Amino acid sequence: MDVKQIYMDANALLEGHFKLSSGNHSQFYLQSAKVLEQPKTAKVLAEAVAEQIKESGLQVDTVCAPALGGLIAGFALATALDKRSIFAERVDGTMTIRRGFEISKGERVIICEDIITTGGSAMEAAKAIEALGGIVVGFAALANRGFCQRQGSPLTRQENCKLPQDVPFFALEDFTFSIYTPDACPLCTDGSEAIKPGSRGN
Ligand code: ZN
């Protein structure tokens, strides 16, 4: 499966010269929600992640997604694994399990995001699960921004990755690309102008 092509086709991965909300520039822009716009695509991607998890032999009872970004990916993964799907959400800045979702003592939970960047939200959701007696047995995402090390990837873990090293992380693809400050941007040096993603009507 060519995951990058699927993202490109969905306009979830744009190539050009972009001005990010941080003010930095990049040759690529990843809008990971776009790839989940088509339920059939979400299903195919989630099934591929589920396959990795099953092959690893990891036993999972429940999938928990940190809202909002992880909701669709988490639900799709839970569907593919035929497991329970719950989500964590921020209440006054703290990731919390609400809405009557219960966690049994020792329940094996995998945290699922659409994309893992440094894993900050995923770790906050993991803490919420563990505070209720659950065990976080893994992390999953459709895409990995390349700071954390997914199972089977040759890329090494970066210092800013917040996921624990002794818990497996499953994802389909590494989306590594450089971010430049405007004064050090090679695309600017080449004479092109950075645009805000979406300003061309997509
Ligand atoms: Zn630039």
Q: Quick one: how far is CA 200 from the chain centroid?
A: 26
pLDDT band at residue 21 using 50, 70 and 90 as cut-offs:
confident
Cα–ligand 1 centroid distance for 182 (angstroms): 5
Q: Please report, to the nearest 10 degrees, the dihedral formed by the alpha carbons of residues 101, 69, 160, 14 taken in order.
A: 160
Cα–ligand 1 centroid distance for 175 (angstroms): 19
With a cut of 60, say whether residue 46 has pLDDT above it: yes
Question: Would you state the structure tokens that stand for residue 140, as one six-digit string?
Answer: 């999953």
Cα–ligand 1 centroid distance for 117 (angstroms): 22
The model's pTM is 0.93
Whole-angstrom Cα distance, residue 139 to residue 141?
7
CATH number of the 38-176 domain: 3.40.50.2020
To the nearest whole number, what is the mean pLDDT of the chain? 95
Cα–ligand 1 centroid distance for 150 (angstroms): 30
Cα–ligand 1 centroid distance for 152 (angstroms): 33
The continuous run of DSSP H or E covering 144 comes out as strand 135-144
Question: Would you state the structure tokens that stand for residue 152, as one six-digit string?
Answer: 């089977």
With a cut of 70, say whether residue 202 has pLDDT above it: no
Cα–ligand 1 centroid distance for 92 (angstroms): 36
pLDDT band at residue 201 using 50, 70 and 90 as cut-offs:
very low
122 sits in the region (left: phi over 0; alpha: psi -120 to 50; else beta) called alpha
Cα–ligand 1 centroid distance for 123 (angstroms): 32
108 burial type by CB count under 10 A (0-12 exposed, 13-18 middle, 19+ buried): middle
Q: What angle do CA 179, 31, 34 make, to 5 degrees?
A: 165
What are the boundaries of each domain within the chain?
38-176
Q: Determine the longest span between alpha carbons in the chain, in angstroms.
A: 59
